[in-house]
Amino acid sequence: MIIDLTMLIDETTPVYPGDPKQEIRQIAAIKKEGYNEKRVAFNSHFSTHIDAPFHMLEDGKTLTDFPIETFVGDAVVIDVRDQREITEDLENIGNCDIVFFYTGHTEKRSEAGYFENNPVLSKATILRLIKKNVRIVGIDSFSPDNAPWPLHKLLFKNDILIVENLVDLEKVAGKKFKCYILPLKIKDADGAPCRVIAVL
């Protein structure tokens, strides 16, 4: 079974406050030009996307500094919907390359207050993830922490990537699976939209 954990890109996809809104425009149509084509424009941290250390560290790695195998691995989803500050001992996850946290927050992505009152990871949980040598941490929210982003930076200093705006994690909550996270191959990328799929 293959499950898509990626947010749909359209005119309603939420944009972080202060970022320019996405552009999705039809520039050719079959009836006129003989083919269909769209122009799309958006920031590197849009929709379901992955953050590289260079996003917040001046000397941090870019996405293309990581080998492709970094983005494929064993993953687990932890159900933390009842927590505002997520504190997990992680003792039961075993050796995992990728750990996702299911908060339910992206279910509110069409609401005006999406970028408010988001659940956040505790520093203790971040330190446990670092100790377990995970490669990627993900969440179904726009961020695992808030400004001034101390936990982003802590993960980045350990070359741990962050996936944000995941969706449909309830379909794989509590399960272990093979995960494929495929970012756009942008030179010197601080981050990039990505397709995330779970293979059970």
Domains of the chain: 2-7+44-199 (3.50.30.50)
Report CA dihedral (166, 92, 85, 82) to the nearest 10 degrees: 80
Integer angstrom CA distances of residue 91 from 97, 125, 128: 15, 11, 9
Per-chain mean pLDDT for the chain: 96
Q: Residue 165 is encoded by which pair of tokens?
A: 């705006």
Look up residue 70 and give its DSSP letter. G
| Confidence band for 43, pLDDT divided at 50, 70 and 90 | very high
Q: Between β-strands 23-28 and 85-86, what pairing exists: parallel, antiparallel or unpaired?
A: unpaired
Q: Residue 8 is encoded by which pair of tokens?
A: 């749909």
According to DSSP H, which parts of the chain are helical?
30-33, 123-131, 150-157
pLDDT at 14 over 90: yes
Average pLDDT over residues 3-7: 98
pLDDT at 72 over 90: yes
| Confidence band for 92, pLDDT divided at 50, 70 and 90 | confident
pTM attached to this predicted model: 0.96
Which among 6, 9, 7 has a CA at the least distance from the CA of 23? 9
Residue pair 23/41 in contact by the 8 Å Cβ criterion? yes
Rounded Cα distance, 42 and 175, in Å: 33
Q: What is the pLDDT of residue 93?
A: 83
Letter string b/e over residues 17-53, b meaning 16 or more CB atoms within 10 A of that residue's CB = eeeeebeeeeeeeeeeeeeeeeeeebbbbbbbbbbbb
Residue 121, SS3?
strand
Q: What is the pLDDT of residue 95?
A: 81
Q: Residue 56 is encoded by which pair of tokens?
A: 């917040």
| Confidence band for 40, pLDDT divided at 50, 70 and 90 | very high
Rounded Cα distance, 180 and 31, in Å: 38
pLDDT at 94 over 90: no
